[in-house]
Structures are given as C-alpha cells and as structure tokens.
C-alpha cells in the first residue's frame, strides 16, 4: 500500500497544455493516482483524442487559450461549475521559439512571454482566487532547466522560464498564508513535439546524452513522480521550490 502522505485520490486537477507531451503525461499520472482531471489546450480535436486515451471516467476537457484573460476567467469558472472545485493546478502550457536574439522579432517576444509567463499569472490568479478563499490548493508551475542556464538562440525562452521561477516564489509568498502551496518542476531535455528538431539533430542529441549524467534524453513519464509529490500532502511544508528533473544535467559542468 502506498503511503497516505502521497495520496491525491479524489482531488480535482487542471493541467494546462495537456493535449500532448509533458502535460498529457502529467494528466495521465494524476488520473492514474485517482484524481479527476481536466485537460486543456486550444485544439479541441486533439484535446478530445488525448482525453479519450486516458484511463477512468473522471476525465474532462476545457478548451481555452491560456494567454487570453477573458477566456481564462470564463474557462476556470466553467471548469469549477461543471467538474467541481479545483484542488490542483498545473501551469504547463508553453512554447519554444529558437532564433538568434538579434533576429528575434517583437511579435515573437510578446508571443513567447504571453504563452510561457503571462499564462501562469492569468490561470494561477483565477484558480488562486478560489483556492485562497477555500483555504487550500496546490499549484505547480512547469519551469525548465533553462530557468537556471541558457544556450545561444533561446534567450527569450530562458527569460520566460527564469521569470516563471520567480513568479512561483512570489505566488508562494502571496498565497502561502492562505493555504495554497506553489512550487515548480524544472524538466531537462525531454522528448516531445517541442524538442523534435533537437532530437532530429544527431549531433545535438548526442551532446544531450553525453552532457546528462543519466546518459539519455528524458521521457515525459520521468516528470510524473515530482508532480505527484508536489500535488500531495507530502509537500505541504514546501513553497516556492523548483524540483529539477533533468537526469542531473543542471548539477554538472
């Protein structure tokens, strides 16, 4: 029998950006642990397909754009009315844009900032309005290895993820007194659609394997344990921390 400290069964969780990749794996992990899970993304068809592949009959979907403030407000209100009060929010939706900084356009700058950072503020604020009132809740922000370190060509991405780390700490400062724990996960290089061009680049892919003490790329399932910990009572006295799940990459030169 698993330890009760890690029991999340019966909780209701929303995972943003969960029609594929890391978000979908995190949603699956929560569903397998007994949560009612709400999946979110913009493409309704792909979202419905993802939801139908998850186990159990407590899977729901909510189609909204996490960068659109009125859509987020309506989306969270609708989820709570249809599914019930949210106990867990995973701010996972995100994107990558790779380009030398001198060629990076203002439009792309705003797009990546909105998608990776403003989204966590908008969805987090909307969920936390309700969670703080109820006196409990768990929020997990999906940060990145690039919250700490950067490589050429991804400065804007790293800027959003570094800021998301500090937003996580700030949310903890503001909402912790009301019983809402906010922490983050920092994935290393994980094979998904977002990293497909990097995986396809044999030289880069080999560099990732060499550079990672674990000797391989991460799989989306590698992140589930950290999420379940941060979503469960086992982490009740943790706040504003980022758990790096990167095969050890961020610890070595």
Positions touching ligand NDP (CB under 6 A) are: 16-23, 40-43, 46, 65-67, 92-95, 115, 142, 144, 187, 189-190, 192-195
Q: What SS3 state is found at 3?
A: coil
Q: For ligand NDP, give the closer residue by CB, 181 or 195.
A: 195
> Do residues 208 and 195 touch, judged by C-beta distance below 8 A?
no
- Token pair 């409990």 is at which residue? 136
Q: Known catalytic residue: 178?
A: no
Q: For ligand NDP, give the closer residue by CB, 63 or 234.
A: 63
> b/e per residue, 6-15, with b = 16+ CB within 10 A?
ebbeebbbbb
Q: For ligand NDP, give the closer residue by CB, 19 or 183.
A: 19
Rounded Cα–Cα distance for residues 126 and 228 (Å):
22
- Marked catalytic residue, from 157, 178, 189, 244: 157
Q: For ligand NDP, give the closer residue by CB, 1 or 200.
A: 200
Burial (CB < 10 A; 0-12, 13-18, 19+), residue 75, is buried
Of 167, 48, 141, 69, residue with least CA distance to 77 = 69
Provide the minimum distance between the beta carbon of 46 and ligand NDP in the complex, in angstroms, as a whole number. Answer: 6
Strand partners, 89: 14, 139
Upper half-sphere CA count for residue 108 (Cβ side, 13 Å): 15
**Which residues form the catalytic set?**
157
């Amino acid at each position: 029998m698993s330890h009760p400290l890690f029991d999340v069964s019966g909780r209701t969780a929303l995972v943003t950006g969960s029609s594929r990749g890391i978000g979908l794996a995190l949603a699956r992990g929560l569903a397998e642990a007994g949560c009612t899970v709400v999946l979110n993304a913009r493409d309704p068809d792909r979202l419905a397909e993802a939801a139908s592949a998850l186990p159990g009959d407590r899977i729901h979907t909510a189609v909204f754009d996490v960068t659109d403030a009125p859509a987020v407000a309506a989306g969270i209100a609708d989820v709570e009315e249809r599914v019930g009060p949210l106990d867990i929010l995973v701010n996972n939706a995100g994107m990558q844009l790779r380009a030398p900084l001198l060629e990076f356009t203002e439009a792309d700058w705003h797009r990546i900032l909105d998608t990776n950072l403003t989204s966590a503020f908008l969805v987090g604020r909307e969920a936390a309005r309700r969670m703080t009132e109820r006196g409990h809740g768990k929020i997990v922000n999906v940060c990145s290895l690039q919250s700490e370190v950067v490589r050429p060509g991804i400065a804007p991405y790293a800027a959003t993820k570094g800021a998301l780390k500090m937003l996580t700490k700030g949310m903890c400062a503001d909402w912790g007194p009301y019983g809402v724990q906010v922490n983050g996960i920092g994935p290393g290089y994980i094979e998904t659609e977002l990293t497909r061009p990097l995986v396809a680049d044999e030289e880069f892919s080999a560099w990732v394997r060499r550079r990672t003490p674990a000797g391989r790329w991460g799989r989306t399932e590698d992140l589930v344990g950290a999420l379940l910990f941060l979503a469960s009572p086992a982490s009740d006295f943790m706040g504003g921390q980022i758990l790096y799940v990167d095969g050890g990459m961020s610890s070595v030169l």
